[in-house]
Amino acid sequence: MSVVEGAVFAGYQVERRLGAGGMGTVFLVQHPRLPRKDALKVLSDIHAEDPEFRARFLREAEIAARLQHPNLVAVRDRGEQDGRLWIAMQYVDGVDVAQLIKRGGLGIERAVRIFADAARGLDEIHQAGLLHRDVKPANILVAEQPDGSDRVLVTDFGIARAADDSTTLAAGGTTATLAYAPPEQISGDPMDHRGDVYALGCTLYHMLTGSVPFPRDSPGAVMYAHLNEPPPRPSHGNSSVPLAFDAVIAKAMAKRPDERFSSCGALAAAAQAALVGQALTDSLPETKRRDRLLMAGVLVVVVVASVLSTVLWVGGDPPATTSPPSPTVGPPNVNAAEWGAYAYIAQTFPELLPPSPIATGYKDVGGCIPLDAKGNTVSFDDVPAVVGELFCIGDGDPARTMAVKCNINRSPIFPDRFFARVEGDERWVRSSGTGHVNWGSDIESDGKIRGQLEVYFDDPSRNFCTVHVHGAASGTELHDRWWPDAPL
């Protein structure tokens, strides 16, 4: 029986064809008993007699039916008619992200909002012990709501598998779209949820730039790029993309799965932090958020004698310097060449920071970039004038970001607070030394309250640096979950 407009199939009145994929064709149908329209996927005739393909099609329904989440398309029914398998799914009256990209109407802020919702749906899949295996813009549906907001749903679980099923299917076939395929899926190595993280990183790059990460002339060239070439920089693909997104994409698309974000939600949190960081850079200098990012140690302070005691530079203005300090022998796990002029910071905190900017350190912090005194991204080759800062992305559990700032002339930085609500303030003593830590919280530009924690040091080998951690719902949560095991 052919499925055409006006026909009745499995009791559903077929209205029109919505699209087709590797597993079958999707139709808009009218439910036989309810005043509701569904999306009906019918198994492709090409594979109708293939037992393995039919089993995979049935598995799609079994997997999706177990998942109930606002960012996942719901499966409503399944069956077989005239030897053809079918699945009835929730119909989403909207467009997919691939269409939005082609229209050119996907701004950076909207892209990040849509992306974060899709990440939540994918994390739900992973928490159920499943993989999606074909994450791409075309599998993210967007329906605009009456209030102007977007309703985002991840769809097409036809290639989803149990997480312990490590069989890798051909990346160029019906099981994955090559432009977004992780290296391990291409090479045939076992794949876990971090493969979806990689594909989601590729999707974010496409959403930000309008181009796939590796536009090449042949499938072989695309595969080679995924396996061997460094992640592309979205700021190069679209000059309006904040530079902080370069670090996010670099970590999401790391070749090794253990160097990527630990979850899709952690990747989304990093993207949101990059967006918030740009908004802060663009805000007025007198705002609290800007003040916190422009730590007092980077300011050229000119004050009257009555307040000279508050100046962070000990002994007056710092002398001019042309190169950052560095230990005679650096820690063996720090790649000084990759850190460039900022190696002196990485060498001061070799256990906290990753060995290289795109690797991961304590609690999966990574994707580090250097910032100047105004919070703008600079090159690792640019020697800091007064203070160097490394801004790194965390996994959101609990830290979203971490900034490490160190004076070039090694003059001490004394404790201060740059957040609105103080929650704690104490001296710390460890085998590694002593210092001061304080924590609290601020209301951010998105209206959410998030924690802040700052660490200062007494010993001359580190007292010219400070560590600022941002994330969680409060500073107390950061203190309880991040601080106790921090390798400081």
246 is an active site residue: no
Cα torsion angle, 377, 381, 383, 389, sign:
positive
Name the nearest CA neighbour of 425 among 405, 447, 455.
455
Q: Residue written as tokens 């026909």?
A: 7
- Identify the bridge partners of residue 452 per DSSP, sorted by sequence position: 440, 470
One of 96, 117, 123, 134 is an active-site residue; which one? 134
Q: What is the pLDDT along the chain (488 residues), one digit of tens a residue?
A: 578 888 899 889 999 988 776 667 889 999 888 888 888 888 777 666 778 777 776 776 777 777 888 899 888 888 888 878 888 888 888 889 999 999 986 899 999 999 999 999 999 989 888 888 889 999 999 988 877 789 999 987 654 555 654 443 443 333 458 999 999 999 989 999 999 999 999 999 999 999 999 999 999 999 999 999 999 999 999 999 998 899 999 999 999 999 999 899 989 988 988 887 654 444 433 333 333 333 322 222 222 222 222 223 333 344 444 456 554 445 667 888 889 999 999 999 999 999 888 778 898 888 788 888 777 778 888 899 899 999 988 878 899 889 999 999 999 998 877 677 889 999 999 999 999 999 999 887 667 788 999 999 999 999 999 999 999 999 999 999 999 999 99
Q: Which positions ≥6 away from 276 have C-beta within 8 Å?
A: 444, 445, 446
Distance from C-alpha of 389 to C-alpha of 380, rounded to nearest angstrom: 11
Distance from C-alpha of 74 to C-alpha of 155, rounded to nearest angstrom: 9
List the structure tokens of 202. Answer: 């590729």
Distances (CA, A) of 118 to 140, 155, 205, 209, 437: 7, 10, 14, 18, 37
Q: Residue written as tokens 């730590």?
A: 295
Distances (CA, A) of 209 to 21, 141, 268, 369: 25, 19, 17, 20
Domain edges within the chain: 8-90, 95-276, 285-481
Contact 473, 449 (CB under 8 A): yes
Number of residues in the chain: 488
The DSSP output letter for 243 is T
> What is the rounded end-to-end Cα distance, in angstroms, of the chain?
69
Q: Which CATH architecture has domain 95-276?
A: Orthogonal Bundle (1.10)
Q: Which CATH architecture has domain 8-90?
A: 2-Layer Sandwich (3.30)
The DSSP output letter for 341 is G
Find the farthest-apart pair of alpha carbons in the chain and give their distance in angstroms, rounded.
91
Distances (CA, A) of 219 to 83, 214, 244: 35, 10, 30
Contact 201, 252 (CB under 8 A): yes
CB neighbours of residue 344 within 10 Å: 22
Give the predicted TM-score (pTM) of the model.
0.60
Name the nearest CA neighbour of 1 among 88, 86, 89, 83.
83
